[in-house]
């Protein structure tokens, strides 16, 4: 892959807020998660877990990301993939000594980026959902109260004719310097 092909993928990847009725096979969901989990992490601690919810727990997970009427579009997603803190092993205890470095949150954010790009490459639409009730999510999934869940990603096939929007991004000069 060259940089132009990568840019094309980045331009195509957008927050999808209208999903088709067509159900994404679980194999495809598993595949994008597997590929995304190649993401880098501090000290290679991989302090994460991905929980792809397609079955009976989906309603409870939806309730956690749709409270106060938000994210209604997620109801038609084939899967809600929860990006949660996982086992860190001894390595992350070392990392915790550097409190100002939020290693775990950074790592989970990087994993989320890999996940949405993997979804796009597999022909799926996705939307990162930061608006969520973490306590409700933890309860729905039976996760302990110290488990951070910084991101949730809704995935599904985009609705037919769903347009690829032009990217609205800051001017390069505002956010990039070569010094």
Ligand X SMILES: Cc1cc2nc3c(=O)[nH]c(=O)nc-3n(C[C@H](O)[C@H](O)[C@H](O)COP(=O)(O)O)c2cc1C
Tell me the two tokens of residue 29.
Answer: 């969901």
Report 24-63 residues binding ligand X (CB under 6 A): none
The whole-angstrom separation of Cα 104 and Cα 148 is 9
The whole-angstrom separation of Cα 167 and Cα 11 is 7
* Nearest residue (CB) to ligand X, 43 versus 105: 105
Q: Which residues contact 6 (CB under 8 A, 6 or more apart)?
A: none
26, 67, 123, 131: which one binds ligand X (CB under 6 A)? 131
* Nearest residue (CB) to ligand X, 53 versus 128: 128
* Nearest residue (CB) to ligand X, 30 versus 164: 164
Report 5-24 residues binding ligand X (CB under 6 A): 14-15, 17
Answer for the pair 48, 112: CB distance below 8 angstroms, yes or no: no
Instruction: Please state the closest distance from residue 68 (CB atom) to ligand X, in A.
Output: 11
Report 135-154 residues binding ligand X (CB under 6 A): 151
String of DSSP letters for 10-42: HHH--B---B-SSPPPHHHHHHHHHHHTT---G
- Say if residue 90 is exposed, middle or buried (CB neighbours under 10 Å; 0-12, 13-18, 19+): exposed
Report 87-106 residues binding ligand X (CB under 6 A): none
128, 137, 141, 153: which one binds ligand X (CB under 6 A)? 128
41, 49, 66, 71: which one binds ligand X (CB under 6 A)? 71
Decide if residue 129 touches ligand X (CB under 6 A): yes
Q: Is 71 helix (H, G, I), strand (E, B) or coil?
A: coil
Q: Which positions lie near ligand X, rule CB under 6 A? A: 14-15, 17, 71, 127-131, 151, 167
């Amino acid at each position: 892959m060259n940089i132009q092909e990568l840019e094309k993928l980045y331009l195509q990847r957008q927050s999808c807020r209208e999903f088709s009725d067509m159900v994404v096979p679980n194999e495809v969901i598993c595949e994008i998660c597997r590929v995304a989990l190649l993401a880098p992490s501090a000290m290679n601690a991989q302090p994460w877990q991905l929980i792809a919810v397609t079955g009976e727990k989906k309603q409870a997970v939806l309730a956690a990301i749709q409270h106060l009427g938000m994210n209604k579009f997620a109801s038609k997603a084939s899967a809600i993939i929860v990006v949660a803190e996982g086992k860190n092993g001894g390595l992350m205890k070392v990392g915790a000594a550097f409190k100002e470095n939020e290693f775990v949150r950074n790592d989970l954010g990087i994993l989320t980026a890999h996940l949405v790009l993997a979804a796009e490459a597999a022909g799926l639409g996705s939307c990162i959902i930061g608006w969520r009730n973490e306590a409700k999510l933890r309860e729905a999934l039976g996760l302990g109260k110290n488990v951070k869940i910084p991101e949730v990603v809704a995935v599904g096939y985009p609705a037919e004719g769903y347009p690829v929007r032009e990217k609205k991004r800051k001017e390069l000069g505002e956010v990039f310097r070569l010094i």
